Amino acid sequence: MKKLDSSKTNVELKEKMIGPEIITAMFWLYMVNAVLLILHEIDSAYWKEWELFKMRGGITGFLIMHIPMLFAIIFGLTTIEKWPVVGIVFSFILSAGGLFAFTIHTIFIKKGREEFTTKISITILIATLLVSIAQVTVTILAVIYQSNI
């Protein structure tokens, strides 16, 4: 990695490290995917997802589990512009979460489960899949760009 001039501003350093277009794309894809996944989690409460996954604690445990999850999702968004390399890690994690949500619920639906079969639930899952694919693609581009400077 090339040594960066210490007189550069934080914005100039970020642009040099990853590129402003990639940072902007990562930010907005992360934002959209975060909203979709949070929306999915709201839908999960309706469907009593804790029963689907045989989780202990009922709604209380389900909600408590979401405190660190939501904190990490929101914190991850802030890292994309402040600390782009850390943001890449959070972007991969969120993308993986979206891909996992779509995959696991598709498996359950194909097994005949009734949860997440409403039009809005399916729309959220498909949108999450598409945005997660776009997000992971842009995140990979950020890694490639980072490795080429």
**Predicted confidence (pLDDT) per residue in 5-28, tens digit:** 545 555 554 555 568 899 999 999
Amino acid at site 31? M
Query: Is 123 inside any structural domain?
Result: yes
Give per-residue pLDDT as tens, 68-113. 999 999 999 999 989 988 999 999 999 999 999 999 999 999 999 9
pLDDT score for 19: 80
Query: Is 12 inside any structural domain?
Result: no
- Sign of the four-CA dihedral 32, 34, 59, 101: positive
Query: Is 2 inside any structural domain?
Result: no
Distance CA 135, CA 51 (A): 30
Task: Name the pTM for this structure.
Answer: 0.85
Cβ-contact 69, 8 below 8 angstroms = no
Query: Is 59 inside any structural domain?
Result: yes
Query: Is 141 inside any structural domain?
Result: yes
- For residue 100, give its domain range: 33-147
Query: Is 6 inside any structural domain?
Result: no
pLDDT score for 13: 47
What does DSSP assign to residue 12? Answer: H
Please state the domain count of the chain. 1
Query: Is 80 inside any structural domain?
Result: yes
Query: Is 139 inside any structural domain?
Result: yes
